[in-house]
Structure 1
């Protein structure tokens, strides 16, 4: 191809290619952490795929030039967004640029200046590792971060963690799709997440399409999510949202994690971190001025934790006559990066169980770095983790039902009181079993416990897509609170719950009982009678908006008055409004 034609085609690529953005958000808070740069418009330029376009650029020796220009376009386009300085820019990198890594990163820095430290270079899981590790060192030297992309799908994925030491792990969409229903994928992904956290890396789930996938990923400990469920790729950066409220609002059952946050916050040590650019002399001075300090967290300019510098690993230099001077000598080239140690990282929204798992699987870890929306928040030492778990265990023993582990009477009363204080319209449901005593007498208390646990599990399942508070009053009595609920949607949901319980509970009976639809047992007077199979009935109490002067006792009295009516009702439910 003639040079003039090559130049013309390259010019058309640089003019015609369009830069779009797909949000990457915190899975717990919905806060937008960054966005991935995606390219569109290649078809109009005559290239079926982006890969085909880059193949041409590589063939004519212009791959680096085009990649740098694309980054410049992305940064300039994002400048329209007022809060863009907070965003990390995730950029897929072509592995063919590896041989010219140093020149490439220099060209990027010349093109985008200080924005270079916001970049997260995505290294594909299929990239040859022994070459990549040298390339990564060149990129990291000037502040860029690294993400292992499509992790789990490339043949070098596991090796990439060891050789490249990425800051982020982006899970392959293969493992994310149907993660809510595919048990084999859940097992594999849980191991990947645990490994990444142990090595101090944050995990991003890509290709998230549904709410149920998002919930499963939260449960497995992922830190961030990317996919159409968060937001489709956008051409206009103003369409990006600082916070994706639907992520933060998902899953009433996860409200219990807030309790873990309180225990964590109480034990958290807000050690001021040092910047990775600070000198070792400043680090020595800091340790000398804080005698009890054994480590200092290290962050980059954006507050992203990179690891810790540990005092005991500096002793050979600290107590040597010339040790500190040697480190301070810039000619020798020993920087804070050389003394950085791995440390597990967890979001403040993580459960204590997940934090403990990350800590326990990390070799020689002194604790866990805690982040908020991906930024450094504080440090949780090993003794602090133990104290937090111990205090939470004691609290739960007091506040939760020992069988179902659901909130008990004190927490239920607190929820109702909080509803009154907020003045928000709420529906409360009291549910108890029908014919439980004869069932328990006939089949034994173990089978009775299984029936109670079944109902508790069904309640938990129903909370997945709803902002429900669920509790266990005791025995076969349960409670559900529905903030903002209305009569008809509440009755529909509770009706389904009762119906599912009646159907599933049949499995606890023997064949004869299932065929006869009843069992013979003694009533409270000792008379043998035929009792129907297990079911449940419910009293639903509607609390109108603005009912701020009512009490828990009034709710209890109304439920007691309507309980008998619910058991004789055709649909096993009664709805009553707490009138003025």
Structure 2
């Protein structure tokens, strides 16, 4: 930007590139999902084509070696601004800067603003991105410089949030207008419930701070649709548009089609196991850290004894070297040994590693309950008595106890039972209702299919609940197999009742495939003599002897459209009740299948619920 900001040029490669103006700019679009318009472009720099310094990583690494990092950043910004202005682009221009380079800009603000105006680029169209290499040496000076630039009308963005130095601390200090979520959290977010929850947490803070979020690194349609449906307004990535010297006015057709997709994303975690789907199944290890001093490898047993005597509640002590944990000394076993005759005299001055467990259980503080629960099933149960070491990127931060681990896993599993069926691990009533509400809110067209197993109770009575559970798991697996995990939501209401919320265009073929698979596959759960007889003998609901044919599937479907009831939305309970009515009708059909429009089904329900009317045999789907 301001020429006065350049470091004096020498005869190095980067200095010559700057002097000869052989740097080139490319621009990657940043799209506003609401309306599918291009908000602006991120300006990126490239070295001479075909040279060793063409790639930005190599270029900036060489500049760092030559002490020209700030000079290169400013030269790159000037190149991007000049190219952007010459192309006549509309929208905002995002430019990358380190903290040091931003300070230099702020201290020459008036010249920088004047230079921008000379190129016909108003300050209101410039967004300065603070990159992840943003260690701030002088915070006060940095804040002053940012304040000066912000007074001129320039906006700020925090780049690559969630990695390196881009932390919440910096978010609070900078109070950015825009926060760009690092590509690590966006890549495969459609299939990763932890990334999804991390981004949702960023959304909450963005809402409180007033910042707009940009999802970086969008590489496929599934991730784009999830990000769109989460309510993140802006996105960037190769799937949307690659960096281009011409600053394309249109973004990729595939991204346009994904943004226009009528279906609503099934959020990741909706069909995971209870721990993963639980709202508190996040970073559990960090919550159970016990702040505890550590001893160096050079410490003696007397040093450990003094520490235990001084801190009577300390259950163990870690042995560390260069901040890395090496071993763990359990208080009880250590004190029991010291109580033996002459042990203090013999071993007091010996190295503490003598009585240490040199292979303790070590976990990262970012571990989830789901990951930590695997310890409970492991053969090594020493952590229950010794506790375990908690690290942050392999550096010692504290200890954890076996008791706290068991308590955390138990609490999460109890809570998760409200959200997932413990037999099939499919979403239960709360997430089913939540997803129906999301579909209705977004005015999506979908088919709510209530699934029930015919003759399941007689089978369960004859073969026992253990074999009955196997049939239920088989039915759940069949339904999961016919669902598109990005479009269709599968939930387990309870017992032999399931609910599928289809958005797939070929939903009917999928439903028919499930019917055929269960009707034929259920036969393998019967004994040979029962298969030969065509069914089993048992008792009906009144206790009378009866003969029952094989377990089959019944599916009652309700078409839910934005045009139903004059455009007024139905609630989750109404939709579920109509689906239950459709299921009742399906059980009476020879095909095991019945479909009805929501308006028609709701009218039938209201008719039967009128005073004096006979109620159909149905159950509330989400009771």
- TM-score by length of structure 1 reads 0.51
The answer to whether 1:566 aligns with 2:591 is yes
The 5-angstrom pairing of residues 255-266 of structure 1 reads none
The answer to whether 1:121 aligns with 2:151 is no
1:405 to 433, 458, 461: 433
Give 1:169 deviation, angstroms.
1.3
**Separation in structure 2 between the aligned mates of residue 46 and residue 104 of structure 1, nearest angstrom:** 33
Give 1:515 deviation, angstroms.
13
| Inter-CA distance 99–498: structure 2 relative to 1 (3 Å threshold) | same
The answer to whether 1:71 aligns with 2:80 is yes
Give 1:71 deviation, angstroms.
3.1
Give 1:156 deviation, angstroms.
5.0
| Inter-CA distance 145–562: structure 2 relative to 1 (3 Å threshold) | same
1:152 to 154, 162, 167: 162
Tell me if structure 2 keeps the 8 A contact 1:429–1:480.
yes
**Separation in structure 2 between the aligned mates of residue 101 and residue 126 of structure 1, nearest angstrom:** 17
**Separation in structure 2 between the aligned mates of residue 101 and residue 116 of structure 1, nearest angstrom:** 13
Match of 1:232 in 2: 242
Gaps of 5+ in 2: 1-8, 268-428, 560-580, 596-623
**Separation in structure 2 between the aligned mates of residue 457 and residue 34 of structure 1, nearest angstrom:** 46
2:44 to 33, 38, 42: 38
Match of 1:178 in 2: 188
Match of 2:454 in 1: 434
Tell me if structure 2 keeps the 8 A contact 1:202–1:223.
yes
Tell me if structure 1 keeps the 8 A contact 2:124–2:154.
yes
Larger Rg computed on CA atoms: 2
Gaps of 5+ in 1: 257-400, 420-425, 543-555, 568-572, 576-580
The 5-angstrom pairing of residues 262-411 of structure 1 reads 404-405=432-433
Give 1:207 deviation, angstroms.
1.0
Measured against aligned partners, the alpha-carbon deviations of 1:161-190 in whole angstroms (never above 9, x if no partner) come to 121111111112222223333344344333
Give 1:142 deviation, angstroms.
1.0
Match of 2:615 in 1: none
Measured on the aligned residues, the alpha-carbon RMSD in Å equals 5.8
Match of 1:17 in 2: 23
The answer to whether 1:194 aligns with 2:213 is no
Tell me if structure 2 keeps the 8 A contact 1:68–1:111.
no
Match of 2:68 in 1: 59
Measured against aligned partners, the alpha-carbon deviations of 1:445-481 in whole angstroms (never above 9, x if no partner) come to xx99x979x97996899465449999x9xx9696867
Tell me if structure 2 keeps the 8 A contact 1:151–1:170.
yes
Measured against aligned partners, the alpha-carbon deviations of 1:489-515 in whole angstroms (never above 9, x if no partner) come to 445433455578889999xx9x99999
**Separation in structure 2 between the aligned mates of residue 6 and residue 182 of structure 1, nearest angstrom:** 41
Find the residue that maps to 1:71 and give its secondary structure: helix
| Inter-CA distance 406–140: structure 2 relative to 1 (3 Å threshold) | closer
| Inter-CA distance 404–72: structure 2 relative to 1 (3 Å threshold) | closer
**Separation in structure 1 between the aligned mates of residue 518 and residue 82 of structure 2, nearest angstrom:** 57
**Separation in structure 2 between the aligned mates of residue 182 and residue 26 of structure 1, nearest angstrom:** 24
Tell me if structure 2 keeps the 8 A contact 1:252–1:467.
no
Give 1:8 deviation, angstroms.
5.6
1:97 to 76, 79, 101: 101
Tell me if structure 1 keeps the 8 A contact 2:203–2:213.
yes
Tell me if structure 2 keeps the 8 A contact 1:72–1:111.
no
1:137 to 125, 144, 147: 147
| Inter-CA distance 31–465: structure 2 relative to 1 (3 Å threshold) | farther
The 5-angstrom pairing of residues 413-424 of structure 1 reads none
- TM-score by length of structure 2 reads 0.48
**Separation in structure 2 between the aligned mates of residue 120 and residue 515 of structure 1, nearest angstrom:** 76
**Separation in structure 2 between the aligned mates of residue 127 and residue 515 of structure 1, nearest angstrom:** 74
Match of 2:116 in 1: 112
The answer to whether 1:527 aligns with 2:545 is yes
Give 1:239 deviation, angstroms.
4.2
Match of 1:536 in 2: 553
**Separation in structure 1 between the aligned mates of residue 478 and residue 457 of structure 2, nearest angstrom:** 21
**Separation in structure 1 between the aligned mates of residue 230 and residue 516 of structure 2, nearest angstrom:** 30
Tell me if structure 2 keeps the 8 A contact 1:252–1:468.
no
Give 1:204 deviation, angstroms.
1.6
Measured against aligned partners, the alpha-carbon deviations of 1:249-291 in whole angstroms (never above 9, x if no partner) come to 34623699xxxxxxxxxxxxxxxxxxxxxxxxxxxxxxxxxxx
Measured against aligned partners, the alpha-carbon deviations of 1:201-235 in whole angstroms (never above 9, x if no partner) come to 12222112233333444565533221123233333
**Separation in structure 1 between the aligned mates of residue 527 and residue 86 of structure 2, nearest angstrom:** 70
Moved more, 141-150 or 190-199: 190-199
Give 1:32 deviation, angstroms.
2.8
| Inter-CA distance 513–182: structure 2 relative to 1 (3 Å threshold) | farther
**Separation in structure 2 between the aligned mates of residue 406 and residue 457 of structure 1, nearest angstrom:** 23
The 5-angstrom pairing of residues 211-230 of structure 1 reads 211-218=221-228, 221-230=231-240
**Separation in structure 2 between the aligned mates of residue 530 and residue 211 of structure 1, nearest angstrom:** 48
Q: Which structure ranks higher in relative contact order (CA pairs < 8 Å, sequence separation ≥ 6)?
A: 1
The 5-angstrom pairing of residues 406-485 of structure 1 reads 433-436=453-456, 438=458, 462=483, 465-466=486-487, 485=505
Give 1:146 deviation, angstroms.
0.8
